[in-house]
């Protein structure tokens, strides 16, 4: 984990307990929420940049093909969708 050994992790944990004591769960929750918000903002920014690059013609296509399980197993690969014939017009 980040190149830290077990001794370093224990030392960081001990320092955190000494600094925050009973508030440690509160602090951990708030740090976790902050990291989650940062990840969401980063994903949004990355998506916006991908869209902007796509509009300007600098990026790869945004849409990716999703392989369905039946296609992956070889089922239905050669089947065609049902054909729709509209009803005949009634002259009256």
CB of 43 closer than 8 Å to CB of 35: no
pTM for the whole structure:
0.44
Split at pLDDT 50, 70, 90, the class of 49 is confident
What's residue 89's pLDDT?
76
CB of 54 closer than 8 Å to CB of 62: yes
The residue-averaged pLDDT of 34-52 equals 87
What is the C-alpha to C-alpha distance for residues 62 and 13, in angstroms, rounded to an integer? 43
Split at pLDDT 50, 70, 90, the class of 46 is confident
What is the C-alpha to C-alpha distance for residues 60 and 50, in angstroms, rounded to an integer? 9
Alpha-carbon separation of residue 91 from 84, 86, 87, 88 (angstroms):
21, 15, 12, 9
Give tens-digit pLDDT for 57-77: 665 554 555 555 554 555 555
């Amino acid at each position: 984990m980040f190149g830290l050994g077990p001794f370093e992790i224990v030392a960081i944990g001990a320092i955190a307990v000494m600094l925050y004591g009973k508030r440690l769960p509160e602090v951990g929750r708030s740090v976790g929420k902050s990291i989650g918000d940062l990840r969401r903002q980063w994903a949004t920014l990355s998506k916006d940049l991908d869209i902007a690059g796509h509009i300007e013609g600098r990026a790869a296509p945004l849409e990716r093909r999703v392989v369905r399980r039946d296609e992956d197993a070889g089922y239905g690969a050669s089947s065609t969708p049902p054909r729709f014939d509209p009803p005949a017009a009634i002259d009256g």
